[in-house]
Structure 1
Amino acid sequence: MSTQMVEVDPRGMDGPVGEIPGCKPARALRLADKVLGAVSEVPAALLVVAEVGVLFSGVLSRYVLRTPLVWVDELASLLFIWLIMLGSAVAFRRGSHMRMTALVDKAGPQWRGVFELVATVAALTWLALVAGAAYEFASEEAFVTMPALDISNAWRAAALPVGIALILLMSVVRLLSTASRRAALVALVACGAVVGVLVGLQPVLQGLGNANLVVFFVGIVGLLVFAGVPIAFSFGLATFGYLSLTTSTPTIVVIGRMDEGMSHLILLAVPLFVFLGVLIEMTSMARAMVQFLANLLGHIRGGLSYVLIGAMYLVSGISGAKAADMAAVAPALFPEMKKRGADDGDMVALLAATGAQTETVPPSLVLITIGSVTGISIADLFTAGLLPGVVLALMLGLVVWWRARKAGAPCNARASRTMVGKSLLVALPALALPFVIRAAVVEGVATATEVSTIGIVYAIVVGLLVYRKFDVRQIWPALVDTAALSGAILLIIGTATGMAWSLTQSGFSGDLAAAMAKLPGGAAAFIAVSIVAFVLLGSVLEGIPAIVLFGPLLFPIARQLGIHDVHYSMIVVLAMGIGLFAPPFGVGYYAACAISRIRPSEGVRHVWRYMASLIAGTVVVAAVPWISTGFLPH
């Protein structure tokens, strides 16, 4: 999954309202911030619990009681859109919406404050522009009835205007609390001037035709993203501007496309797998797996590096979220690696590389996203994703072997068979979970959405009865964190869907298909260009928004060239993973550094050899389709 590291700064986009020297927020603003936080966090956390209960009851009623509950999907969908919008509000208040901070981080304190002000005003502008359209959309949905629940669809659609209104209020509170009146007024006037200039240029823009795609979706999106504006709001502003200034499309379409993009029920797996990852760490299941692998391989030269590769593969098969994977493995393994003389930079470089290596290991959130936007079977993607991860693990293993041999790393004492056996017995319940999840999907016990609830229940039972580690006090913060991360991810999917629809309606997709289909070299050239393109996209946009934007455009071309959908999916995901975890722009790399508490500069000189091996592994996967499709049902 996509990851993001953001330093918390109470003066800007990166956190709730705080104290500022010389500009202390008024008591009313602090109170408003707390009220908005409670109004969004409490129901968002409860909605995560409700979704687990609703979906798990659906599995029990259908598979155990043989009496399906026909209203489960509708109720889950209704609750889901509310979870997305309230979670987005929580993420906005916390400053955890995904954004590119490479330039912001390099700026001095004064310019950083300017960037943060720009980000706040940009978000406020988009929210103000779409608020009316969101209300209109919800009003029209009042005439639609949900067949199973027999209630108006307005109960569901109302989440959009309510969520937008909440975030709009939060942005106003933040602006008033974190900037002087003069600065806030200047920022708002400047923003109004930019909007006014664009409106004045409307006749010129309408005459540019498809050149507007470059203006809005390259120029404006690029400026906003590199200025530190959250990706979701950057996409939303560009799409709204393009549709309202260069076409006759009603702006309510923007909200309709957002709703469509976020409403795929398969995406409900995102918050549930994120929550499952938290449970895995809390119950010490990840620690048990790491300990077993350390006892099994720790005596080999460079053995704990192999353990890191293997542990990330196993944990990735449980949580589906890269931040959760790294947070589960690194604290359990790095202290022992340091004792055995491992270099800090090499450890964090390998951790980042394993994050990219395991992007295809189910239940990857990127695979779930691909399935939702392309219609490819999630079960097929889950089945296909295992072997490519093994291929890349072997490539990383070769680098570890070569480095350990060259450096003359010492061998450590071999753990006794008794110790290995005991650690295996302790780890077995944890090791079984990835196989339980996969078997439940493949055997039809649960859908790819529902299977996460089986994993959650399994983790709770194992944590209570086997590992006897289940801190109830951590549950509430975990639920709120889950809602915030899910809202941040899914709002990007919503706004990216609107952008992708605009690109399609403009005819750009047809032109792109024609150009890509005419590449000399046919399918091989198309795959090579796709790898390069998605490495770049992964570093700038991260995996999920990139696949939502370009998946609907490129997958039909791949199909036309005779490339298997699942094979192409594996290539795309691996390429995006490399971009996501490769410095200087890959935010996954900085997340690995933050989790490891190691400075980014220490890992840069080591990470390239690992990234080169991952690129080589991706080429092998691309050249041998059987690696991706060999185990698919025929």
Structure 2
Amino acid sequence: MGADISMAKIPQATVGKPSGLVARTGHILDGLIRWSTELTAAALVVAEVVLLFANVLYRYALHDPLIWGDELASLLFIWLAMLGAVIALRRGEHMRLTTFIARLTPSRRAFVDTFGAVIVVAFILLLLSPAWEYVSEEWAITSAALEISNGYRVAALAVGLSLMLAISVARLMEQARPRHFLLSVVVVGTIAAALTSGKTLMTSLGNWNLVIFFLVAVVFMIVIGVPIMVAFGLSTVAYLSTVTVTPMLIVVGRIDEGMSSIILLAIPLFVFLGALIEAMGMASAMIRFLASLIGHFRGGLSYVLIGAIYLVSGISGSKAADMAAVAPALFPEMKKRGEDEDELVAMLSASGAMSETIPPSLVLITIGSVTGVSISALFTGGFMPAVVGAIAMIAVIWLKNRKKDLKVVDRATPSAVGKAFLVALPALALPFVIRAAVVEGVATATEVASVGVAYTFVVGLLFYRCFDWKRLYPIIVSTASLSGAILIIIGCATAMAWALTQSGFSRQLTALMATAPGGVMGFLVISAVAFVVLGSFLEGIPAIVLFGPLLFPVARSLGINDVHYAMVAIFAMGLGLFAPPFGVGFYAACAIAKVDPDGAMKRVWPYLGALAVALLVLVAVPWVSTGFLPAA
């Protein structure tokens, strides 16, 4: 959202489910994989939090760093990522576009779901043998600190793919009609045979292969609801197998490289932190304070919504967590005051776009990982772009409410405001604790979320005392699922970006973008438009992993500050992510608020228009992104 917004639940086919031995066998297999993966992944999430917090404690407080800490964290991390991807596949939570297939009849939807599942199986089968070969290749390499074989770490890829294959087969056994399954296998097999037999012809097409594999094939798979990670991965494998002689072992290595960056370990920790602040009651405390402060003005709770999203984004890093924390706390009271639910969802959706740059956004962490930009600088530069977006949205709210009759709302007394502030103060302090820990060198950008988790547990249990311990295990499993779905996309997108680079596309793109009309400003405007479009289809994290390594060098060659370009790209992707009819973030907001998207779609455009103006301000005024960076 960050990346996680497009984590739409994948409805399983309900038409013509097979019964009998095949279905029961699939159900048993599914259950075995569920408990083994979920329990293990939950233990890994807890282990990572404890290990990273111990790293901070030993290094900063005891001045005795754990020299093996990062290495063990990296080993556990790849296992967490792959088991999380398995859980996401079993729960139907991988990122995918459902806009088009949702409009199909149940019977056609059942076939498309089966066809998509067969495509997933084909992708896994193509990588499974190379993944185990990769384990064998890495077995001879010994880690520096732990002095164990690197094969133990990369075995996660092979085991994860094997479990994903088992899950896919179990799901087909449970739910697919035999006729749909056979037809899907025939179609996929025919395409594979055509590519295999037509290698000479395909090679002669030159750059048209890039259009066929990385545009037509990817768009087709995304449109029919195939998970984005499979769309990226299968198109890459098909391209390299058909047009080049590149061994698939290299693809597995690139996926490993993309998923294994220690910086990305911040993703599951911040996802976990985002869920905790809602469960601990900290988000509600902040919202109550803002409501007591400005809730009596015309459109007051609308301003509270913007402020709450801004504050919560600064803690959770997850757009889904932001909206899920704010909407239930604010929407009932806003409806009592006569607000239309479609208007509420429009504001909620647009505020998600507005807050994409607020640290510790998962997209900020990812962009730092794949482009080499300082995450500390990105965290510093991310606040003001969101302020510009918030001001733009506030202007729209003021215009809409300036003549509205205000229902009688009692203004909170100064003592009530003060009391609400004191109650919210421990929660309000969390974003500053996180930022201070990074800036002051107490913790790295990877470790800081563990500090936030520890702070949240202490404050939540001592001050707010509303945590239901029964929620902890589901939160941890959901953290693993969401993190795995995000990280495997990063791995597959890394392999796809490598294939594009090897094809020469990156050099051609660099030359084309460098000569864009209008110089620096023309390049920034074209980039902004491109990332809006990419955000609509791919979501922020896949888009930035795929195109960040290609476009950031061009921006640097034109003298554009890395942080400035990053903020333009992230803000633009957020705008696309929450813009209907394709932006999956918009539909996530509708799902959280339980509102029909058709009505909200008509109300969201004024807010998105205001954010488009804010984006132009970011493009034209670099100071908004770089003004608070320390002097070089």
> Are 1:116 and 2:113 an aligned pair?
yes
**Cα separation, 2, equivalents of 1:267 and 1:411:** 49
Deviations 1:111-159 (A, max 9, x none): 1111101110010000001001101111100011100000000010100
User: Post-superposition shift, 1:342?
Assistant: 0.6
Contact 2:17/2:177 (8 A) holds in 1: no
User: Post-superposition shift, 1:189?
Assistant: 2.3
**Aligned residue identity for 2:237:** F
**Cα separation, 2, equivalents of 1:341 and 1:24:** 55
**Aligned residue identity for 1:362:** P
> Are 1:354 and 2:351 an aligned pair?
yes
**Aligned residue identity for 1:217:** F
**Cα separation, 2, equivalents of 1:220 and 1:350:** 35
Deviations 1:85-136 (A, max 9, x none): 1000000000000001111011111111111011100100000010011011
SS in 1 for 2:100: helix
Aligned ranges 1:24-423 → 2 under 5 Å: 26-410=23-407, 412-423=409-420
SS in 1 for 2:402: helix
Deviations 1:257-300 (A, max 9, x none): 00000011010011000000111011100000000000000111
Q: Number of paired residues?
A: 629
1:15 corresponding residue in structure 2? none
User: Post-superposition shift, 1:210?
Assistant: 2.0
Deviating more after overlay: 72-81 vs 621-630: 621-630
**Cα separation, 2, equivalents of 1:504 and 1:381:** 26
User: Post-superposition shift, 1:186?
Assistant: 2.4
C-alpha change, 1:231 and 1:527, in structure 2 (3 Å) is: same
TM-score, normalised to structure 1, is 0.98
**Aligned residue identity for 1:49:** V
**Cα separation, 2, equivalents of 1:34 and 1:47:** 20
SS in 2 for 1:323: helix
Contact 1:316/1:358 (8 A) holds in 2: yes
Unaligned stretches of 5+ residues in structure 2:
none
User: Post-superposition shift, 1:599?
Assistant: 1.0
Deviating more after overlay: 196-205 vs 373-382: 196-205
**Cα separation, 1, equivalents of 2:610 and 2:511:** 33
TM-score, normalised to structure 2, is 0.98
2:6 corresponding residue in structure 1? 4
2:458 corresponding residue in structure 1? 461
**Aligned residue identity for 1:201:** G
> Are 1:582 and 2:579 an aligned pair?
yes
Contact 2:19/2:174 (8 A) holds in 1: no
Deviating more after overlay: 536-545 vs 182-191: 182-191
> Are 1:435 and 2:437 an aligned pair?
no
User: Post-superposition shift, 1:594?
Assistant: 0.7
Of residues 518, 521, 531, the one that matches 2:518 is 521
Contact 2:18/2:174 (8 A) holds in 1: no
SS in 2 for 1:152: coil
- Supply the RMSD in Å over aligned alpha carbons: 1.3
User: Post-superposition shift, 1:24?
Assistant: 7.9
**Cα separation, 1, equivalents of 2:184 and 2:303:** 52
Contact 2:298/2:404 (8 A) holds in 1: no
**Cα separation, 1, equivalents of 2:310 and 2:26:** 46
Contact 1:5/1:594 (8 A) holds in 2: no
Contact 1:176/1:184 (8 A) holds in 2: no
**Aligned residue identity for 1:114:** F
User: Post-superposition shift, 1:598?
Assistant: 1.1
**Cα separation, 2, equivalents of 1:340 and 1:261:** 48
SS in 2 for 1:466: helix
2:615 corresponding residue in structure 1? 618
User: Post-superposition shift, 1:409?
Assistant: 4.2
> Are 1:604 and 2:598 an aligned pair?
no
C-alpha change, 1:146 and 1:28, in structure 2 (3 Å) is: same
**Aligned residue identity for 2:13:** R
Contact 1:380/1:566 (8 A) holds in 2: yes
**Aligned residue identity for 1:224:** M
Identical amino acids, percent of aligned pairs? 56
Contact 1:5/1:590 (8 A) holds in 2: no
Deviations 1:318-376 (A, max 9, x none): 00000000000000000000011111111000000000000000000000000000000
**Cα separation, 2, equivalents of 1:424 and 1:182:** 62
